Every structure is written in C-alpha cells, then in structure tokens.
C-alpha cells in the first residue's frame, strides 16, 4: 500500500488558524461507513442525535504542557529549540532538537538565563535526544513560565489564550500536542449528553511523536510508530465492557483514544485496565475490535491519522468525504471542523 494513496490537495486558506467560538458550533460531517458512505452535514452540538442511551463516549484527558523551549548552548551561545516528548525518568526527557546535528552528546543548553539547564545524554532512534534537566524549585512552574504551547507548524497565528489548545476536560499533564477531536466539546454539551443517557469516560494517552511524526517511507507498511504512554482505569474499562456486552456503541473521540482502545481490546472487544506504552499503527486492512464509531478532525495528507480513519471507514469513503469537505469549505486540521464516522 502506497503512502501516496492518502494524498490530497488542500487550499491553504482552509487550514484553521483559530478555534471556533463557541467550540461546539463547528461543522460536523457525519459519514456512514457501513453501507453507502452517505454524508450528512450538521453542527457539532447536534452530535447527540446520533447517539443512544447506553452508548459510551471515550475521551482522552491528557493535558498539553508548554513543551517548546528556546535556549542557547552554554559554550557557544548558539540558539537551540527543544520540543519535549516523553519523561522517561525523573527530570529526564526525550526531546526533539533543532538544529539537531549541532547538539551533540554532552552539550548543555540553558533556558531562561540559566534558570533551567539541560545536558544531552544520548541520541534516540528517531533522531531526537535524551536530556537531563537541572534546576532549582519546581520544574512544572519553570516550564509554565519559560515554555510555549507546541502548536503545529501549519498554525501561524499566536494564541491569545493557552487554554484554546486544551480540551475542556484536560487533566493529566504530559502531552506535546492536543487530542484535537476533543476540542469541539464544551462543558454544556458534555452535560447534555450525560443527561441523554450517554456514558462519558476518560483514558489518558500523552500525545507525542507517535501521533504527528511524518511518514517518510513510500510504503505504508514500512512506517514505524513511536511509542506513547497510556493509562486506562478499571472504571473506564468496566463501562466500555458493559457497553459492548449490551450491544451499544463505543464511540472514540479521536485517534489517540482509538489507538489506546485497540491496543487493549481482545477478540470480543473487551478491555482490561492497564498502563504502558503503545506503538500500534492502524491502517487499512486492520480489524477493529473495540470501536463502533469515531469522532475525528480532518487530517494532513499522507499522515498516520488519515490512514487510521481510512481503516475505520475505507480509503474510498474518506477521500470522497475529504473532497466534499474541501468543496464546501470546511475548516481543516487542529482547529478545524469535525467528522463523525458511524
């Protein structure tokens, strides 16, 4: 399967630069995957029309940290940019570095006039670095003060409010990018769905390189995902298992939720509480075990994200839906509109 099979042309003006206000006023494209690929156009706050009492909505409660740091090499003053990915041990992180070729093992980088220092300990297999931080006080407070929200490169406008790049239910710090399908929910909409009888449960996957790493290979099967950390509680697992047994729908909000559930699901669609690392790569041909419906955004061409949604529907249905979204000027990518695949 060729990576180029998942390419499409997107006019630059359709890349959303700011979130919709209110969030649940985004457009919602509803795609029927089981039969004809029928498409309906709705508003996101109407998503409850497609859910029934007893269905379960699964959300990722990860919280984006200000993971982008700008500093200078202690010896030369050369400018360096870090993107924090995963904390692998106390004060030790995997990071992406620019310019990477000039940051060698043993290099020390200073941030905030030396309030925070990082020494490079080793290289990673994806071209990043493992660094150990040295500081006084609270690392969290320093990061909040010195770091910037790691917006994707296609968003050129600065955010006036950091919370615009967080879901309203974000709780557990650790993500380098937002689980963007969840950005469409408001507290009012979640309360309304709960009153409708929809179960709402949470898991955590700290979004990192595995989600947004570009596919460099020509063939889909040759791409290797980078592992990301997840946690699923016994309460969440119990509700999902009860939903499956009752014949109701498990609805994943986003590709990160999808990857976590499918990592844990057995052949009957049941899961167990767990925590660990997943590098699951879902592309067409994958046999879904847990998922019954998916809420997602419109993704970059040739990305692992568009491959995942194409696996859940089909490449033909997804490419048809994307073309219609372009023709009708939907907003794309992180702050863009939403799709519900049922």
As a residue count, the chain comes to 342
- Whole-number pLDDT of residue 240: 98
Token pair of 177 as six digits: 């990018």
Q: How confident is the prediction along the chain (342 residues), in pLDDT tens digits per residue?
A: 999 999 999 999 999 999 999 999 999 999 998 667 799 999 999 999 999 999 999 999 999 999 999 999 999 999 999 999 989 899 999 999 998 888 999 999 999 989 999 999 999 888 899 999 999 999 999 999 999 999 888 998 888 898 999 999 999 999 999 999 999 999 999 999 999 999 999 999 999 876 767 898 999 999 999 889 999 999 999 999 999 999 999 999 999 999 999 999 999 999 999 999 999 999 999 999 999 999 999 999 999 999 999 999 999 999 999 999 999 999 999 999 999 999
- Whole-number pLDDT of residue 127: 81
Torsion of CA 37, 51, 42, 32, to 10 degrees: 0
- How far apart CA 307 and CA 323 sit, in angstroms, is 16
Nearest to 178 by CA among 190, 169, 191: 169
- Whole-number pLDDT of residue 213: 75
Side-chain-side CA neighbours of 142 within 13 Å: the count stands at 19
CATH code, 68-146: 2.40.10.240
Question: Residue 221: left (phi > 0), alpha (psi -120 to 50), or beta?
Answer: alpha
Cα-only R_g, the chain: 20
- How far apart CA 305 and CA 302 sit, in angstroms, is 8
- Whole-number pLDDT of residue 132: 98
Nearest to 257 by CA among 285, 293, 215, 284: 293
- SS3 call for 156: coil
Residue 230: Cβ-neighbour burial (10 angstroms; 0-12, 13-18, 19+): buried
Please, are residues 335 and 18 in contact by the beta-carbon 8 Å criterion? yes
Domain range list for the chain = 3-64+162-341, 68-146
CB atoms under 10 Å from CB of 169, counted, come to 17
Token pair of 297 as six digits: 């955004």
CB atoms under 10 Å from CB of 120, counted, come to 19
- How far apart CA 93 and CA 241 sit, in angstroms, is 35
CB atoms under 10 Å from CB of 341, counted, come to 22
CATH among 3.40.640.10, 3.40.1780.10, 3.90.230.10, 3.40.50.12780 for 3-64+162-341: 3.40.1780.10
Backbone φ and ψ of 46, nearest 5° = -95, 10
Global pTM reads: 0.93
- Whole-number pLDDT of residue 35: 67
Nearest to 225 by CA among 259, 180, 253: 259
């Amino acid at each position: 399967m060729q990576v180029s099979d998942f390419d499409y042309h997107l006019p630059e003006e359709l890349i959303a630069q700011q979130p919709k206000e209110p969030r649940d006023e985004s457009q919602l494209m509803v795609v029927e995957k089981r039969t004809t690929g029928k498409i309906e156009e709705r508003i996101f706050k109407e998503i409850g029309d497609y859910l029934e009492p007893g269905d379960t909505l699964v959300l990722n409660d990860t919280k984006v940290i200000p993971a982008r740091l700008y500093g200078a090499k202690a010896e030369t003053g050369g400018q360096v940019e870090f993107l924090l990915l995963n904390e692998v041990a106390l004060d030790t992180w995997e990071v992406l570095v620019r310019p990477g070729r000039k940051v060698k093992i043993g290099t020390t980088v200073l941030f905030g006039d030396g309030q925070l220092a990082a020494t490079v300990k080793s290289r990673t297999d994806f071209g990043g670095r493992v660094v150990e931080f040295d500081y006084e006080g609270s690392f969290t407070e320093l990061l909040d003060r010195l770091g910037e929200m790691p917006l994707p490169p296609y968003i050129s406008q600065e955010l006036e409010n950091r919370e615009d790049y967080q879901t309203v239910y974000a709780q557990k710090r650790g993500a380098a990018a937002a689980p963007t399908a969840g950005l469409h929910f408001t507290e009012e909409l979640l309360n309304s769905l709960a009153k409708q009888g929809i179960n709402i449960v949470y898991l955590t996957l700290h979004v990192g390189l595995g989600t947004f790493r570009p596919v460099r290979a020509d063939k889909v099967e040759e791409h290797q995902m980078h592992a990301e950390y997840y946690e699923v509680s016994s309460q969440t697992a119990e509700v999902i298992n009860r939903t499956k047994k009752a014949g109701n729908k498990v609805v994943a909000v986003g590709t990160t939720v999808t990857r976590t559930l499918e990592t844990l699901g057995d052949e009957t669609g049941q899961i167990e509480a767990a925590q660990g690392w997943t590098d699951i790569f879902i592309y067409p041909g994958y046999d879904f075990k847990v998922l019954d419906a998916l809420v997602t955004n419109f993704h970059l061409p040739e990305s692992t994200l568009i491959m995942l949604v194409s696996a859940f529907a089909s490449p033909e249905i997804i490419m048809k839906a994307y073309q219609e979204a372009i023709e009708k000027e939907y907003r794309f990518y992180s702050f863009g509109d939403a799709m519900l695949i049922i």
